Structure 1
Amino acid sequence: MDNMDNLFNPSLAAALMKLDPDDGEQIMEYFKTHALLSREKALLQASVREQKKLLVENAKLKKDIEQLRGQLQEKQKRRTAKALASQAPPSLSINSAPSSSVTHRTSLAEAAAAMTANLHLSSSSSHEGKDRQSRRRRGERKARPTSDPLSLGVESQIDPSRLDLRVGRILNIRRHPLAEAMSVQQVDVGENVPRTVVSRLGEKTQLDKMQGSMAVLLCNVKASKMRGVASQGRLLCCSASENCVELLVPPSGSSPGDRVTFLSYPGEPDRELQSKQRVWELLQPDLKVDCRGVANYKGCGFEVKGKGLCRAPTLTSCTIR
């Protein structure tokens, strides 16, 4: 950091211009670029170490969850076997002979009654199964118990690999005709036709400075109209407050269409995020910018492979929306 401060020292720049008036400015730009690349490399190496540590911890947690699930399923099997055993008809004793034919007929009647009860139980369970299927056909749902052991792995399916995040270039930007706080952008994400995106950047944002800049776009949200203008994506912004908003910036050297991925969460994104599953709403609280200005999800950085990490231009320790 001290080296960076020295590079941006005006006295050093003036000294270089005095020593070499022709190439002093180019030398200064070279030093600045080299220092920025060195800092990006150091941050990336630190992030990789943290991500490897998280991978080991995640593997251990998955193993523990599988063991707990196996124990719960085994316990449920024992309970089911115990319940079936308690419903079995009483066995007839071989050693103690019946005293009369009446006693023998009584025991046979009791066994028949027990068998009839079991038949009623099985038929009622089959009727419940048919009712469940008919509810599904009608679109109705039955509330699942919160203590269902088979639902332990549902939350693990909500991770950032389901987000289709891509690098985009803002080709042009203008105010929304019906909302002063909104703006409309044409964004190139490496497709044949640019995408129209409606964003809420705030009334104080200087839109003319954003034209031509690089950004990160969520591409697999469902297209929807916002005040009459169809939006085909979502620009990711860093926000410290309602009036302090700036675009999330991909690493230098990124091109429109480059994927933004997460080392600890491999996988292909959804074709389209379903609103009923609320994937974005569940992930968004953990999308943050850390104290170094690096965008991350639970400590795992937003990464363009081979090019670096996504960052906030000036903000730190803030949310991503």
Structure 2
Amino acid sequence: MRFEKEENRCPLRRSKDERVLQASVREEKKLLVENSKLKKDIDDLKKLLHDTQKRKAVKLHQERVLTATIASKTALLGETTPLSQTAQSTRSETSSAHTRHDGRRRRERRGLDAAHLNSSESACALMREQKPDVSRLDLRVGRILDVRKHPDSVSLYVQEVELGEPAPRTVVSGLTNHMPPEQLVGRLVVLLCNVRPVKVRGVQSQARLLCAVNQEIMEPLTPPTAAQPGDRITFQNYPGEPEKELNPKQRIWERLQPDLCTDAKGVATYKGVAFEVRGKGLCRAPSISNGGIK
């Protein structure tokens, strides 16, 4: 009698075991799906963390460059944000983002793409600031109309120079020990025109007169004879446009000056590329070869 009761209970026990097994399989599948989702979320978080750190690195580098230029130093200075704080902040932001609906997530991704584009543009601008070239200088042909001695300095001339503008510019130069005034009046010269006007011993100078120099003499660079006041001086392989005004804190002129010189034939050059008035000829120093330019 007892044996018959146990036989009757066996199907019930088997049915219960099957249900437990099926429930276990379903739970396992559910865990696999959840694990896959969690893995994808972790990969997304890692990507967002990497992108955020990259953007912060670019911003930090810009701050260092700005600090260095203000201090007139070559070393980059700045404070770095601890990685752990950055990661914690990023995880908090991304965790919050994953709780929003899919439409909001897509908008955030579009915003991230725009941020990447802005970062690329900022990086390009930063690279241009780090490695300036001669195209940033506004070099033009001028004609000296008048020369007089500086009222407060025996070593300086005050010149009025025509540049094809409505009015001539006043330019202060240190040529009194190298050339008499009569040799300067009417002469074509090369001027750096996008420097910030500055007072020199009480007289405001509105441009910089470029001269060739060696250990003994200094003389103005001479444009080609066919040039006219206002003609721009250009350089092959450096097609960029000059800045409206050079920022003195960036010291662009000072950083470019070591690469400016006259070659063995007296032609004014930047890294071996000649000063050229397009279609009219090259700029030269009348008597100084292999000299500097200041």
TM-score (norm 1): 0.54
Kindly report the root-mean-square deviation, in angstroms, between the aligned alpha carbons of the 2 structures.
Answer: 3.8
**Alpha carbons of structure 1 residues 217 and 140: separation in structure 2 relative to 1, 3 Å:** closer
In the alignment, structure 1 residue 164 sits paired with structure 2 residue 98:
no
Instruction: Point out where structure 2 has 5 or more consecutive residues left out of the alignment.
Output: 1-44, 69-75, 80-122
Matching residue's letter, 2:253:
W
Question: Once the two structures are superposed, what CA deviation does each residue of 1:254-312 show, in whole Å capped at 9, x if it has no partner?
Answer: 00000001011001100000011111000011100000110000010000000010000
Instruction: Point out where structure 1 has 5 or more consecutive residues left out of the alignment.
Output: 1-117
Contact 2:178 2:218 (8 Å CA) reproduced: no
Question: In structure 2, which of residues 127, 148, 153 is the aligned counterpart of residue 179 of structure 1?
Answer: 153
Q: Which whole-Å CA distance do the structure 2 matches of 1:189 and 1:156 have between them?
A: 31
Contact 1:202 1:245 (8 Å CA) reproduced: no
Listed as ranges, the matches of 1:1-321 within 5 Å are 143-144=77-78, 153-154=127-128, 157-241=131-215, 243-321=216-294
1:198 CA drift (Å): 0.5
Contact 2:141 2:229 (8 Å CA) reproduced: yes
1:156 CA drift (Å): 6.2
Q: Which whole-Å CA distance do the structure 1 matches of 2:279 and 2:67 have between them?
A: 48
**Alpha carbons of structure 1 residues 154 and 191: separation in structure 2 relative to 1, 3 Å:** closer
**Alpha carbons of structure 1 residues 318 and 195: separation in structure 2 relative to 1, 3 Å:** same
Q: Which whole-Å CA distance do the structure 2 matches of 1:184 and 1:206 have between them?
A: 13
Matching residue's letter, 1:143:
L
SS of residue in 2 equivalent to 1:181: coil
Deviation above 2 Å: which 4+ runs of structure 1?
139-145, 150-157, 202-205
Matching residue's letter, 1:292:
K
For these two proteins, the number of residue pairs brought into alignment is: 198
Question: Once the two structures are superposed, what CA deviation does each residue of 1:62-100 show, in whole Å capped at 9, x if it has no partner?
Answer: xxxxxxxxxxxxxxxxxxxxxxxxxxxxxxxxxxxxxxx
1:144 CA drift (Å): 4.9
Q: Which whole-Å CA distance do the structure 2 matches of 1:140 and 1:156 have between them?
A: 13
Matching residue's letter, 1:278:
R
Question: Once the two structures are superposed, what CA deviation does each residue of 1:188-243 show, in whole Å capped at 9, x if it has no partner?
Answer: 000000000001124242122111110001100000100000000000001112x5
Matching residue's letter, 2:290:
S
SS of residue in 1 equivalent to 2:127: coil
Matching residue's letter, 2:256:
L
Identity within the alignment, %: 49
Contact 1:173 1:210 (8 Å CA) reproduced: yes
Q: Which whole-Å CA distance do the structure 2 matches of 1:144 and 1:265 have between them?
A: 32
1:314 CA drift (Å): 1.1
* Bigger Cα Rg: 2
SS of residue in 2 equivalent to 1:216: strand
SS of residue in 1 equivalent to 2:154: strand
SS of residue in 2 equivalent to 1:259: coil
